[in-house]
Amino acid sequence: MWSGPLNKIGEYRYEIPKTYRGINGNLKMRVPALIYASEEMLPAIRKDNAPKQAANVATLPGIVGRSLAMPDIHWGYGFPIGGVAATDAEEGVISPGGVGFDINCGVRLVRTNLKIGDLDRNKIRQLVDELFKNIPSGVGSQAKVRLNRAQLDDVLQMGARWAVENGYGWEEDLEYLEENGCMEIADASYVSEKAKERGKSQVGSLGAGNHFLEIQRVAEIFDENAAKIYGVEKDQIVVMIHTGSRGCGHQICSDYLRVLEQAVRKYNISLPDRQLACAPVKSKEGESYFKAMACAANFAWANRQMIVHWVRQSFENVLGRDAEELGMHIVYDVCHNIAKVEEHVVDGKKMLLYVHRKGATRSFGPGRKEIPKKYQQVGQPVLIPGDMGTESYLLRGTNESEEAFGSTCHGAGRVMSRHQAKRRWNGREIARMLEQRGIYAHPASWSVMAEESPDAYKDVSQVVNVTHGAGLSLKVAKMVPLGVVKG
């Protein structure tokens, strides 16, 4: 339970001041911590004690601006999930805890030219079953494609481009992926054999946990102009994919946590929590982790790209029409567990920074060169997935998000552990409940259905309303699920 300060400094903004010294008086915050939240969210945030982690992050060497936390904040490893921190690109540190284990867990949205009237419930069921058949999902799931070591190294270094060049998708797809689906700094020689072994059979698979593949209906449009530019309209059928770097990314994180725990001692870095293990960005250890992390990010982009290819094939198989004819173009792909070098303004000065986003999504505003030209007049598409059975959102990035280093929330955020959820709910009962609401679910495991019960999460609309009200990202459209493949 958090008993420290949370001072309201503006609408949807609560601050832990830099002067806070912790319970024992030994905490030495270099910057304040800022939490975006509504007043009604505060009791749950205090109970979870994640503000303590936001304050701890504020002690990192080279951190600038503020330690930040989005309204989906909850307890994580080192950093809170929903945490954002930027460190100086010359004198700062990089921390795996600020990225997470599922490196480049992210979301991709594919639009179609289908409307809700084009698909009855039986057809939706057929599509979901075909998606489940074509796209491996669940704990330890193995992909349909088996890569040799040389091919996997190419995936780690080329990302989504490898997939497109090998027939998994269209050339135009790459334009609509964050970083165009590849971090160029990636170097497969910095990835362990164990991580490669775990990854070589998982490229093109959904995984488990909160990952999903959903057929959705656009239920509401909030911003007609932005929606038109993004190619989205009311009652349109879209497909959302939520997955990451699977066992490969998890292993890379685990490997480098051990390396960076030693680096903390080597460079005499004082930390309030050993889970904040880090290294100077210019050190051998810091640079090695960043290159390996980029490999995991590229793995995830290739993974989602191959899934898109099989999504298109599934629609073709069931509907008997080509994906091009169905208008199955990518709206955008965003990642929400990553560190990247970006330019931002801090205290009126442009700085090159290592921006850590753990359970947080990039939200660049109009004019940023990093986003597709087609979208530059309205800002980057932002994708906020709901939990299973609840709505998801398409938003647009804003220039106001610069106060958070161009960041916004990433989802609903858990309020109950997976273990608690499994004790409370039965997976089959959850599936029946969804069916009564017109949502057909095809899970790889009834256990995961229980873990991912909608009631185990915060209300995603409440979270999105805070980010919208705070100006970090603005609502464009709401999508509701019709059918879901659950890992």
What's the pLDDT at 455? 67
Rounded distance between C-alpha atoms, residue 201 and residue 197, angstroms:
8
Nearest of 201, 199, 207, 194 to residue 142 by alpha carbon: 201
What's the pLDDT at 421? 65
Is the pLDDT at 136 greater than 90? The verdict is no
DSSP H or E segment with residue 127: helix 121-134
141-145, 234-238, 240-244, 441-445: range with lowest mean pLDDT: 141-145
Is the pLDDT at 447 greater than 90? The verdict is no
Which one of the listed residues 410, 419, 442, 468 is annotated catalytic? 410
Q: How many residues are there in the chain?
A: 487
Tokens 């998000």 sit on residue:
401
Which tokens hold the place of 366? Answer: 């109009």
More confident residue, 60 or 417: 60
Q: What is the pLDDT averaged over residues 291-311?
A: 97
With 0.85 as the threshold, say if the pTM is over it: yes
The CATH number of 106-258+274-486 is 3.90.1860.10
CB 286 within 8 A of CB 279: yes
Rounded distance between C-alpha atoms, residue 26 and residue 437, angstroms:
52
Is the pLDDT at 427 greater than 90? The verdict is no
According to DSSP, the β-strands at 63-74 and 33-36 are: parallel
What would the DSSP string read from start to end of 316-328? Answer: HHHH-S-TTTTT-
Which tokens hold the place of 400? Answer: 């106001």
Place 420 in a pLDDT band, splitting at 50, 70 and 90: confident
356 is catalytic: no
What is the residue extent of each domain of the chain? 106-258+274-486
What's the pLDDT at 143? 64
More confident residue, 107 or 442: 107
Q: What is the pLDDT averaged over residues 372-390?
A: 93
Q: Hey, which residues does 362 pair with through a beta bridge?
A: 407
Residue spans of beta strands (DSSP E) within 122-211: none
Q: What are phi and psi of 216, to 5 degrees?
A: -130, 155
Nearest of 38, 71, 40, 287 to residue 185 by alpha carbon: 287
Which residue intervals of 135-277 are DSSP H helices? 149-158, 160-165, 193-199, 224-230, 246-266
Is the pLDDT at 415 greater than 70? The verdict is no
What's the pLDDT at 146? 81
Percent of the chain with pLDDT over 90: 83
Which tokens hold the place of 404? Answer: 């958070």
What's the pLDDT at 435? 85
Is the pLDDT at 78 greater than 90? The verdict is yes
Distances (CA, A) of 39 to 18, 42, 108, 466, 473: 22, 5, 31, 10, 19
Rounded distance between C-alpha atoms, residue 205 and residue 202, angstroms:
6
| Amino acid at residue number 289 | Y
What's the pLDDT at 49? 93
